[in-house]
Amino acid sequence: MNYYNLKDKQETVNFKTAAIKSQGSQKGLFFPEKIPQFNEEFIQNLHLYSNEEIAFRCMKDFIGDEIPSEILKKITTETISFEIPLKKISEHISILELFHGPTLAFKDVGARFMSRCLSYFLKDQDKKVTVLVATSGDTGGAVAHGFYNVPGINVVILYPKNRVSAVQEKQLTALGGNILALEVNGNFDDCQNLVKQAFSDESINSELFLTSANSINVARWLPQQIYYLLALKQWKQYENQDPVIGVPSGNFGNICAGLLAYFRGLPAGHFIAACNKNDVVPDYLKSHQYHPKKAVATLSNAMDVGDPSNFTRILELFGHQYEHLKNMISGYSVDDESTLQTIKEVYEKYEYTLDPHSAVAFAAMEQYLNENPGKKGFILGTAHPVKFPEAVEKAAHITIDIPEALNDLMKKDKKTVEINADFEELKRFLLDKNQEQ
Ligand SMILES: *Cc1c(COP(=O)(O)O)cnc(C)c1O
């Protein structure tokens, strides 16, 4: 499969190059040249296939022969080597729990797939590779975990100071080894801009072999389709209508993967882009005007994004047909107060504990179902509530027991270097670090 650059359609690359380079010229995102269709029999009979077989089939067309099938099978199997259950919360709303992986967030799926693909592609490379990544909270931990101790790879993570939760911060900063955490005086958009600048800086790129692990990378974006299939397999065991799918959205990689699966033939009734106060896309869906904004801090911090990168991929998927897009996706913006209220109500009514991100999706789904009676759907549960204990305790006065693995992590020391949101500081750090090795 080839991928073209959304900013320069003449630039086409294979999967390997797209995975290693992450983005094309003018910081353009790569997009698959064809949308491979699911076999109809396969989609109708998902229950007859194992999760491992579903994951492999979902990815094969995007990789072609660039990774031998038996190795790809191993990679896709490891990508989903934890439970991904669909659970019914209320009569109309189920939740796909994507948080049973090593860092208790859905980003484990993309990070595990990507790290394994890169380590396959780079196995014969002699220059050390630096994975540079900006995180609003969860990406960093998933990437750190996915790449920890992978030979030949260093990871540099940029995160906004004081804007990630205590658990998230430990997941980014306590591993050490080949994982380096930079604490940036700024917000997530600043971190993301620094990373983007580094990729287009000639002097950095002549010294270091840089690659990204942000959701813009096809190797992180594409495997997220897998769990939409796994959800549908379970959904069809107890529901007979096509599900409305609610996705807590920030950078819009996750929902964009679901939409891609939909264009390949996944039966989905409707998509909900569930946002917090950062409402650029809900605004666009109302007004047909796209105005990036400065990100504001919220309780669902992994969604504090003011100019979502993957939005351009969504436009491309819909062939820039606004009407079609508007009919398929509804956008909602949920504030912190409603988020807390939702956590409280869902706990009291259904004895289910939502994390703030999943709560945004639950609130959005409830609104949509009220406006569209008779429909049913599931939300993506993107993080385990234990990652956000303060918010959850504040909302519902419940204390969540910290799993043992997390307890060990919390006892470890935080190791970071603090920088300003200033590209020259990042550059100096990267070049100096490279000299040391
Ligand atoms: C990253 C993240 C999101 C947002 O996902 P996008 O793909 O960036 O839209 C939602 N919830 C949690 C817990 C996350 O970590």
Model confidence pLDDT, tens digit, residues 352-382 = 999 999 999 999 999 999 999 999 999 999 9
Say how many C-beta atoms besides its own lie within 10 A of residue 103's C-beta: 27
Give distance in angstroms: CA of 167 to centre of ligand 1: 16
Q: Average pLDDT, stretch 93-115?
A: 93
253 lines ligand 1 (CB under 6 A): yes
107 lines ligand 1 (CB under 6 A): yes
The token duo for 138 is 């969860």
- pLDDT higher than threshold 90 for residue 420: yes
Burial class (CB in 10 A: 0-12, 13-18, 19+), 287: exposed
Say how many C-beta atoms besides its own lie within 10 A of residue 25's C-beta: 12
The residue among 18, 23, 7, 20 whose CA lies nearest residue 199 is 23
Name the closest-CA residue to atom 2, ligand 1. 302
Indicate the average pLDDT of the chain. Answer: 94
Return phi, psi of residue 124, to 5°: -105, 15
Question: What are the pLDDT digits (tens) for 211-233?
Answer: 878 778 999 999 999 999 999 99
Binned at pLDDT 50, 70 and 90, residue 137 comes out as: confident
The distance of Cα 117 from the centroid of its chain, to the nearest Å, equals 17
Read out DSSP for 390-408? Answer: HHHHHHH--PPPPPHHHHH
Binned at pLDDT 50, 70 and 90, residue 248 comes out as: very high
Nearest-angstrom CA–CA distance, 437 and 433:
7
- What pLDDT does residue 284 have? 97
Binned at pLDDT 50, 70 and 90, residue 128 comes out as: confident
Give distance in angstroms: CA of 254 to centre of ligand 1: 7
Give distance in angstroms: CA of 106 to centre of ligand 1: 8
Domain definitions of the chain by residue range:
70-106+221-396
Question: What are the pLDDT digits (tens) for 180-207?
Answer: 999 999 998 899 899 989 988 999 999 9
258 lines ligand 1 (CB under 6 A): no
- What pLDDT does residue 5 have? 98
Say how many C-beta atoms besides its own lie within 10 A of residue 83's C-beta: 11
Nearest-angstrom CA–CA distance, 433 and 247:
38
- What pLDDT does residue 408 have? 82
Nearest-angstrom CA–CA distance, 318 and 322:
8
Inter-CA distances, 296 with 170, 311, 370, Å: 23, 18, 28
Give distance in angstroms: CA of 395 to centre of ligand 1: 21
Question: What are the pLDDT digits (tens) for 274-327?
Answer: 999 999 999 999 999 999 999 999 999 889 999 999 999 999 999 999 999 999
Pocket test for ligand 1, best of 95, 97, 107 (most atoms within 8 A of CB): 107
384 lines ligand 1 (CB under 6 A): no
- pLDDT higher than threshold 90 for residue 328: yes
Q: Which atom of ligand 1 is nearest to the CA of 215?
A: 7
- What pLDDT does residue 437 have? 63
Binned at pLDDT 50, 70 and 90, residue 397 comes out as: confident
Q: Are 277 and 303 in contact (CB under 8 A)?
A: no
Q: Which residues contact 178 (CB under 8 A, 6 or more apart)?
A: 147, 148, 149, 150, 153, 154, 155
Nearest-angstrom CA–CA distance, 355 and 358:
5
Tell me what percent of the residues of the chain surpass a pLDDT of 90: 79
- pLDDT higher than threshold 90 for residue 389: no
Say how many C-beta atoms besides its own lie within 10 A of residue 400's C-beta: 16
Nearest-angstrom CA–CA distance, 64 and 196:
29
CATH architecture of 70-106+221-396: 3-Layer(aba) Sandwich (3.40)
Q: Average pLDDT, stretch 244-252?
A: 97
Q: Are 112 and 84 in contact (CB under 8 A)?
A: no
Pocket test for ligand 1, best of 139, 303, 304, 339 (most atoms within 8 A of CB): 303
- Alpha-carbon torsion (410, 416, 420, 426), positive or negative: negative
- Which residue shows structure tokens 């990815």? 59
Give distance in angstroms: CA of 213 to centre of ligand 1: 14
249 lines ligand 1 (CB under 6 A): yes
- Which residues are annotated as catalytic? 107
Provide, for the chain, the percentages of residues in helix, strand and coil under a 3-state DSSP scheme, each rounded to the nearest 5. Answer: 50, 15, 35
Give distance in angstroms: CA of 382 to centre of ligand 1: 7
Q: Lowest-pLDDT range, 22-26, 212-216, 339-343, 385-389?
A: 212-216
Tell me what percent of the residues of the chain surpass a pLDDT of 70: 100
Name the closest-CA residue to atom 15, ligand 1. 138
The token duo for 165 is 């939760």
Strand 93-97 to 86-88 pairing? antiparallel
The CA dihedral of 166, 170, 171, 175, to the nearest 10 degrees, is 180
Strand partners, 5: 8, 30
248 lines ligand 1 (CB under 6 A): yes
- Which residue shows structure tokens 């027991």? 401
Nearest-angstrom CA–CA distance, 71 and 62:
14
Say how many C-beta atoms besides its own lie within 10 A of residue 26's C-beta: 11
The continuous run of DSSP H or E covering 423 comes out as helix 423-436
215 lines ligand 1 (CB under 6 A): yes
Question: What are the pLDDT digits (tens) for 37-78?
Answer: 999 999 999 999 999 999 999 999 999 999 999 999 999 999
250 lines ligand 1 (CB under 6 A): yes
